[in-house]
Chain A
Amino acid sequence: MQLTSQVVHLFRRELLLEQRQKYALAGILLYIAGTIFICKLSFREIHSPASWNALFWIILLFAAVNAISKSFGQESPGRMLYLYTICDPRALILAKIAYNALLMLVLAIIGLGIYLLLIGNPVQDFGQFTLVTILGSIGFSAVFSMISAIASKAGNNFTLMAILGFPVMLPMLLVVIRASKNAVDGLAWSVGGKYLLALLALNVILVVLSYLLFPYLWRD
Chain B
Amino acid sequence: MKSNWWKWLCAGLLFYTLIAGLLLPVPRMPILHETIRNLYFHVPMWFGMMAMLGISLFYSIRFLARENPQDDIRANEAVNIGMVLGVLGLLTGMMWANFTWGSPWPDDPKLNGVAIGMLAYLAYSILRGSLTDESKRARISAVYNIFAFVMFMLFINVLPRMKDSLHPGNGGNPAFGSYDLDNTMRLVFYPAVIGWTLLAVWLWQLRVRTRRIREYVLEKTNE
Asked if A and B are interacting partners, one says: yes
Residues on A close to B: CB < 8 A?
146, 150, 153-155, 157, 160, 163-164, 166-168, 170-171, 174-175, 178, 195, 198, 202, 205, 209, 213, 216-217, 219-220
- Interface residues of B toward A: which range? 20 to 34
Q: Kindly provide the distance from the CB of A171 to the nearest chain B CB, expressed in whole angstroms.
A: 4
**B144: CB under 8 A from chain A?**
yes
Q: Kindly provide the distance from the CB of B160 to the nearest chain A CB, expressed in whole angstroms.
A: 11
A174 touches B123 (CB 8 A): no
**B120: CB under 8 A from chain A?**
yes
Residues on B close to A: CB < 8 A?
64, 116-117, 119-120, 123, 126-127, 130-131, 136, 139-140, 142-144, 146-148, 150-152, 154-155, 158-159, 162
B148 touches A167 (CB 8 A): yes
Contacts of A217 in B (CB 8 A): 139-140, 143
Contact of B123 among A146, A164, A178, A220 (CB under 8 A): A164
Contacts of B147 in A (CB 8 A): 146, 150, 168, 209, 213
B146 touches A154 (CB 8 A): no
Residue of B nearest to A195 (CB): B162
A216 touches B139 (CB 8 A): yes
B159 touches A174 (CB 8 A): yes
Contacts of A198 in B (CB 8 A): 158
Q: Kindly provide the distance from the CB of B129 to the nearest chain A CB, expressed in whole angstroms.
A: 9
Bound form: Cα–Cα A167–B147 in Å? 11
Bound form: Cα–Cα A54–B107 in Å? 17
B154 touches A154 (CB 8 A): no
Q: Kindly provide the distance from the CB of B92 to the nearest chain A CB, expressed in whole angstroms.
A: 23
Bound form: Cα–Cα A146–B146 in Å? 12
Interface centre among A160, A168, A219 (most CB of B within 10 A): A168
Bound form: Cα–Cα A175–B140 in Å? 28
Contacts of B159 in A (CB 8 A): 171, 174-175
Contacts of B158 in A (CB 8 A): 171, 198
Residue of A nearest to B151 (CB): A168
B119 touches A166 (CB 8 A): yes
B123 touches A167 (CB 8 A): yes
A219 touches B139 (CB 8 A): yes
Contact of A150 among B116, B117, B144, B162 (CB under 8 A): B144
What 6 new A-B contacts, CB under 8 Å, besides A160-B127, A160-B130, A219-B139? A150-B143, A153-B140, A155-B130, A163-B119, A175-B159, A216-B142
Q: Kindly provide the distance from the CB of B73 to the nearest chain A CB, expressed in whole angstroms.
A: 18
Bound form: Cα–Cα A178–B109 in Å? 14
Residue of B nearest to A178 (CB): B162
Q: Kindly provide the distance from the CB of B66 to the nearest chain A CB, expressed in whole angstroms.
A: 12
Contacts of A216 in B (CB 8 A): 64, 139, 142-143
Bound form: Cα–Cα A154–B126 in Å? 10
Interface centre among A157, A167, A174, A216 (most CB of B within 10 A): A167
Bound form: Cα–Cα A217–B158 in Å? 28
Residue of A nearest to B139 (CB): A216
B140 touches A150 (CB 8 A): yes
Interface pairs A-B: 4 shortest CB-CB: A167-B120, A167-B119, A171-B155, A163-B123
Beyond A146-B147, A150-B140, A164-B123, is A205–B154 a contact (Cβ under 8 Å)?
Answer: yes
Bound form: Cα–Cα A41–B147 in Å? 38
B151 touches A167 (CB 8 A): yes
Q: Kindly provide the distance from the CB of A53 to the nearest chain B CB, expressed in whole angstroms.
A: 16
Contact of A202 among B127, B143, B154 (CB under 8 A): B154
Contacts of B155 in A (CB 8 A): 170-171
A154 touches B130 (CB 8 A): yes
Bound form: Cα–Cα A216–B142 in Å? 9
Interface centre among A163, A178, A220 (most CB of B within 10 A): A163
Bound form: Cα–Cα A63–B148 in Å? 22
Q: Kindly provide the distance from the CB of A136 to the nearest chain B CB, expressed in whole angstroms.
A: 16
